[in-house]
């Protein structure tokens, strides 16, 4: 069973964008492994709260203008 796990900032994508990401990721994995894996392909989109991630000692938050609206 192919498995993809995306970790994204909370509210970075709308519900429709997350659905599209799941569909496109499934199609990508099917292109490698064949249609046989489609029913068992798992795509997990995890949303990380602001301040819950960072790089090189910098804690990230998403500016309001970059938040997706549902």
- The model carries a pTM of 0.83
Query: Residue 67 above 90 pLDDT?
Result: no
C-beta separation of 7 from 48 below 8 A: yes
Residue that the structure tokens 């798992």 belong to: 42
Q: Which CATH superfamily is domain 3-66 in?
A: Macrophage Migration Inhibitory Factor (3.30.429.10)
Burial of residue 11 (number of CB atoms within 10 Å: 0-12, 13-18, 19+): middle
pLDDT in tens, 1-34: 899 999 998 888 999 999 999 999 999 999 999 9
Looking at residue 68, its pLDDT comes to 83
Query: Residue 70 above 80 pLDDT?
Result: no
Looking at residue 61, its pLDDT comes to 84
Task: Domain ranges for the chain, please list them.
Answer: 3-66
Residue (of 59, 29, 70) closest to 9 by Cα position: 59
Name the average pLDDT for the chain: 92
């Amino acid at each position: 069973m192919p498995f993809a796990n995306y970790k994204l900032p909370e509210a970075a994508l709308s519900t429709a964008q997350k659905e599209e990401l799941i569909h496109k990721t499934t199609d990508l994995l099917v292109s490698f492994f064949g249609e046989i894996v489609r029913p068992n392909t798992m795509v997990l989109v995890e949303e990380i709260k602001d301040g819950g991630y960072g790089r090189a000692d910098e804690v990230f938050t998403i500016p309001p203008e970059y938040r997706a609206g549902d």
